[in-house]
């Protein structure tokens, strides 16, 4: 055997080990792929929005659609029967007290029967009594106004020295403004009562004096203001009491809202009111003047019968832009029915119901923890928390359905 020949076992011994390296690389790649798949299948934290529990003021409002209404208005009616001339006024025209609206040429005087005369005399007495009552109301309103203005003067002096609270100052200012409006309304009522007395007297004179047939009777405006609508424009033969025009003062606007009776229970006179969507940038401030004692039935857009109550509010120091508001303009009314200056607040979007209990998710150690809370008043955006969570806790806002108790969550980063 030649010495250069190689034994079979020597050839096997000298074979390179590249096959083992290839095998090791293959197994390593396979294990890395498994690790990557496992990492990809690992549950990732759910991104959520967080809100913080804090203290602050809370006001609960009743929100309804409302409309403006000219409070002091008067319908000018025919005092006697006869031929009325055409009315030249149009809606929106300004009129002054005593200005002639139209004229009436009375027909032949009626027969002087005791019944007609007694009725005319009774109307005169009623008008006289109404005028006396209006005079007394005006006197009382002026007395209240004098006291309110005097109190407002004292409050202004105290405010300059810093010895009165902001709430007391605003209450005194509001009371003075309200008393001035009451005097204005009482003066309007007195003018109307005096005009009605004149009309009742004219009707009585027509019955008692047959020779007044054919005389021209002038129908004049009882108060200054603007014509809201012309109810009888053409020249026609009219009877006593026929409405001719309606006059009002657009500067004396009140807000009228139809509130559900269950919500009206919580509304009190002098409650704070915000008037929104009236056409201006900032809401108007108002105050509840009257919650009518009688409700009425109204059918909603869904065909449901509802019991509603009229709530009337007066504007407080309206800006000049608010003078453009007319009669029966649509607005949105927000009436405050509850207020507190310092309560623990939670965003309403963090609360959800489970059965009869309110619950929320608290963000703690990177996980969502379900907590039962007791909720008080709410304004739809923030809610009062009575117990269940503490000040400074972070809660999940509008959590998705995938969030459960103990699930890992992470705060969403807003761009």
Structure tokens at 345: 């607040």
Does residue 91 share a domain with residue 154?
A: no
- Domain-located, residue 17: no
CATH code at 262? Answer: 2.40.30.170
Tens digit of pLDDT at every position of the chain (415 positions): 445 555 555 555 555 556 677 777 778 777 877 777 766 666 678 888 899 999 999 999 999 999 999 887 888 888 777 888 999 999 888 898 888 888 888 765 554 556 667 777 777 788 888 888 888 888 888 888 888 888 888 888 877 777 777 777 777 877 887 787 788 778 777 877 777 777 777 767 666 665 554 567 788 888 888 898 998 888 888 887 788 999 888 878 899 999 999 999 999 988 999 999 998 889 999 999 899 999 999 988 888 899 999 999 988 888 888 888 888 899 999 999 998 989 999 999 999 998 889 999 999 888 889 999 999 999 889 999 998 888 889 999 988 888 888 888 888 876 5
Structure tokens at 16: 């390179």
- Domain-located, residue 87: yes
- DSSP strands (E only) in 316-356: 330-347, 352-354
Looking at 339, 364, 384, the residue that finishes a domain is: 339
Does residue 403 share a domain with residue 335?
A: no
Does residue 282 share a domain with residue 256?
A: yes
CATH code at 395? Answer: 2.40.420.20
- Domain-located, residue 270: yes
Structure tokens at 205: 């004179």
**Burial category of 73 from C-beta neighbours within 10 Å (exposed 0-12, middle 13-18, buried 19 and up):** middle
Q: How many CB atoms lie within 10 A of CB 134?
A: 20
Does residue 289 share a domain with residue 217?
A: no
- Domain-located, residue 114: yes
Looking at 289, 322, 339, the residue that finishes a domain is: 339
Task: Give the domain extent around 140.
Answer: 109-212
What separation in angstroms does the CA of 163 have from each of 154, 168, 169, 268?
Answer: 11, 10, 10, 29
- Among residues 214, 193, 28, 79, which one has the least CA distance to residue 126? 193
Does residue 311 share a domain with residue 357?
A: no
Does residue 223 share a domain with residue 98?
A: yes
The CA distance from 403 to 294, in Å, is 50
Looking at 339, 361, 377, the residue that finishes a domain is: 339
Query: Which residues are 306's β-sheet partners?
Result: 298
- Domain-located, residue 28: no
Chain mean position to CA 64: 6
- Domain-located, residue 1: no
**Residue 368 near residue 361, CB atoms below 8 Å:** yes
Does residue 153 share a domain with residue 199?
A: yes
Output the DSSP codes for 19-51.
Answer: HHHHHHHHHHHHHHHHHHHHHHHSPPPEEEEEE
Q: CB-based contacts of 52: which residues, under 8 Å, 6+ apart?
A: 392, 393, 394, 395
The CA distance from 165 to 167, in Å, is 5
Count of structural domains, the chain: 4
Does residue 256 share a domain with residue 122?
A: no
Does residue 219 share a domain with residue 98?
A: yes
What pLDDT is recorded for position 1? 45
The CA distance from 399 to 375, in Å, is 18
pTM, two decimal places? 0.63
The CA distance from 326 to 317, in Å, is 17
Does residue 89 share a domain with residue 121?
A: no
- Domain-located, residue 162: yes
Output the DSSP codes for 62-83.
Answer: EEEEEEEEESSEEEEE-SS-EE
Does residue 330 share a domain with residue 372?
A: no
Compute and round to an integer the Cα radius of gyration of the chain: 40
Q: In the chain, what is the straight-line distance between the N-terminal and C-terminal CA atoms, in Å?
A: 85
């Amino acid at each position: 055997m030649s010495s250069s020949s190689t034994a079979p076992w020597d050839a096997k011994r000298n074979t390179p080990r590249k096959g083992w390296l290839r095998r090791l690389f293959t197994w390593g790649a396979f294990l890395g792929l498994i690790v990557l798949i496992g990492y990809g299948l690992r549950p990732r934290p759910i991104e959520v929005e967080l809100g913080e529990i804090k203290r602050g003021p809370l006001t609960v409002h009743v929100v309804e659609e409302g409309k403006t209404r000219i409070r002091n208005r008067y319908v000018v009616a025919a005092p006697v029967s006869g031929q009325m001339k055409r009315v030249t006024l149009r809606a929106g025209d300004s009129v002054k007290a005593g200005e002639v609206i139209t004229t009436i040429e009375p027909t032949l005087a009626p027969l002087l029967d005791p019944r007609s005369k007694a009725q005319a005399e009774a109307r005169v007495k009623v008008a006289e009594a109404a005028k006396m009552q209006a005079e007394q109301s005006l006197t009382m309103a002026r007395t209240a106004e004098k006291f309110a203005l005097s109190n407002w003067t004292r409050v202004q002096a105290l405010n300059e020295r810093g010895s009165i609270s902001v709430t007391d100052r605003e209450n005194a200012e509001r009371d003075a403004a309200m008393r001035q409006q009451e005097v204005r309304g009482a003066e309007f009522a007195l003018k109307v009562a005096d005009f009605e007395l004149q009309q009742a007297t004219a009707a009585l004179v027509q019955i008692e004096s047959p020779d007044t047939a054919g005389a021209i009777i002038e129908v004049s405006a009882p108060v200054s203001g603007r014509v809201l609508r012309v109810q009888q424009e053409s020249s026609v033969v009219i009877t006593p009491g026929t409405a001719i025009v309606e006059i009002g003062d657009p500067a004396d606007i009140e807000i009228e809202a139809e509130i559900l009776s269950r919500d009206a229970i919580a509304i009190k006179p002098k409650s704070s009111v915000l008037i929104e969507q009236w056409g201006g940038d900032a809401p108007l401030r108002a105050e509840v003047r009257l919650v009518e004692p009688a409700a009425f039935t109204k059918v909603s857009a869904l065909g449901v019968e509802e019991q509603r109550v009229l709530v009337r509010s007066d504007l407080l120091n309206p800006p000049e832009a608010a003078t453009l508001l007319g009669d029966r303009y649509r607005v949105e009314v927000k009436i405050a029915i509850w207020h507190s200056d310092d309560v623990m607040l939670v965003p309403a979007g963090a609360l959800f119901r489970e059965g009869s209990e309110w619950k929320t998710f608290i963000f703690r150690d990177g996980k969502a923890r379900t907590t039962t809370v007791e909720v008080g008043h709410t304004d739809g955006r923030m809610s009062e928390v009575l117990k269940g969570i503490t000040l400074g806790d972070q809660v999940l806002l509008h959590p998705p359905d995938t969030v459960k108790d103990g699930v890992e969550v992470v705060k969403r980063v807003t761009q």
